[in-house]
Amino acid sequence: MKRRQFLESAGAGALLTGGVLSGCGKQSSEGASQATASQQKFNWKMVTTWQKNFPGLGTAANLLAQLVGEMSGGRLNIKVYGANELVPPLEIFDAVTGGTAEMGHTSAYYWKGKIPEAQFFSTVPFGMTALEMNAWLYYGGGMELWRKMYAPHGLIPVAAGNSGVQMGGWFNREINTVEDLQGLKMRIPGLGGEVLRRAGGTPVGMPGTEIFTSLESGVIDATEWVGPWNDMAKALYKVAKYYYYPGWHEPGTTMECMINQAAFETLPADLQSIVMTACKAVNLDMLSEFTARNNQALQTLVHEHNVQLREFPKPVLDKLRAISIEVVEELARENEQAALVYQSYRQFQQQVLAWHDISERAYLNVRGG
Ligand code: CA
């Protein structure tokens, strides 16, 4: 029963009605098949949107493969491919759907062209934090909806990492008023990009691998990436002067492990549980590591690289928030699925806000130094 509950909370509930995990009343044949299954080895490929070994993101994919390998005693071996090693970084979805790879490590907002509502499972401007996202996904109905959206594509999504609140980004000029956003060419994905467009800017979509040279050559005026730790690793402080906060557009971005459903169903039950457990471990590990390393990296950026830290002016944030509400509500009207996800997301955010106003926010306000 415990395993059943865990798999359900990890979003694998629908599988429990399938053949692999059923078997009630077939104890002898189940025992025999498990003995056979326990000897079988699986070799999987995991494609990722990240550069191989990139701090936090690439290393999270490595950790996921490592944990699965260790917990399965080598029965499920996952080879990790960095961006462009097997497929381009934004072709992960097709690669896993088509079976080129059994797994992918990426983030759902990259698939907005295929599944608009997938963006809710990544992050939403002025939306939920990491703590709130995990609560919604695991215990607020979010995972069930996510699985439902990916099922027609033969994919099983699993939460497998969170960046926490990101930074607003790197700018080669100061943003003092809403007018300063006019004509701003900025690399910013997902819904945040649409918000910038309506605020007068020009959002540019590109994978992380192209950001540095694009900013250096002036193809873009600004970029967001993740936060101090990742941004320092990309040396973005060398090509832009001002570093803005907060990351209104990505307040707690969930990374996803997407799994080819047919491949998953060939795994015996214990390996399925191991994959789900490893994803949950990585989900916690990434957030913990980002929190620890971001604060170290911020000190280095400010004190050693003389980065100019700037807070977005309140009128700019007020404008972006107002546009964000419009953009998210429009997304909800795109199709029935999006409406369903939006309703669940919005209701959860409103409810958790009431709780966090008197817990997280109230506490941080009174904690002081
Ligand atoms: Ca980002």
Q: How many angstroms separate the alpha carbon of residue 85 from the centre of ligand 1? A: 22
How many angstroms is it from 167 CA to the middle of ligand 1?
8
CA angle 14, 20, 22 (to 5 degrees): 75
The pLDDT score that the predictor gives to residue 20 is 42
The full set of domains in the chain, from first to last, is 40-162+252-288 (3.40.190.170), 169-250+292-356 (3.40.190.10)
Q: How close is the Cα of 354 to the center of ligand 1, in Å? A: 27
Task: Write out residues in the chain with pLDDT < 50, as ranges.
Answer: 1-6, 10-14, 16-28
> 43 C-alpha to center of ligand 1: Å?
32
pLDDT in tens, 228-253: 999 999 999 999 999 999 999 999 99
CA 207 / ligand 1 centre spacing (Å): 10
**226 CA → ligand 1 middle, Å:** 4
Q: Residue 246 Cα, ligand 1 centroid: separation in angstroms? A: 12
Q: Parallel, antiparallel, or unpaired for β 254-260 and 155-162?
A: antiparallel
CA gap 125, 325 in Å, rounded: 8
Q: Are 77 and 91 in contact (CB under 8 A)?
A: no
Ligand 1 geometric centre to CA of 106 (Å): 12
In 10 A of CB 152, how many CB atoms?
Answer: 9
Burial of residue 300, with CB atoms counted within 10 A of its CB: 0-12 exposed, 13-18 middle, 19 or more buried: middle
Name every residue whose Cβ is closer than 8 Å to that of residue 16 and which is 6 or more positions away in sequence. 4, 7, 8, 22
CA of 363 relative to ligand 1 center, distance in Å: 27
Which pLDDT value is given to residue 205?
Answer: 86
Distance separating alpha carbons of residues 288 and 206, to the nearest angstrom: 27
pLDDT digits (tens, 9 = 90+) for 303-349: 999 999 999 999 999 999 999 999 999 999 999 999 999 999 999 99
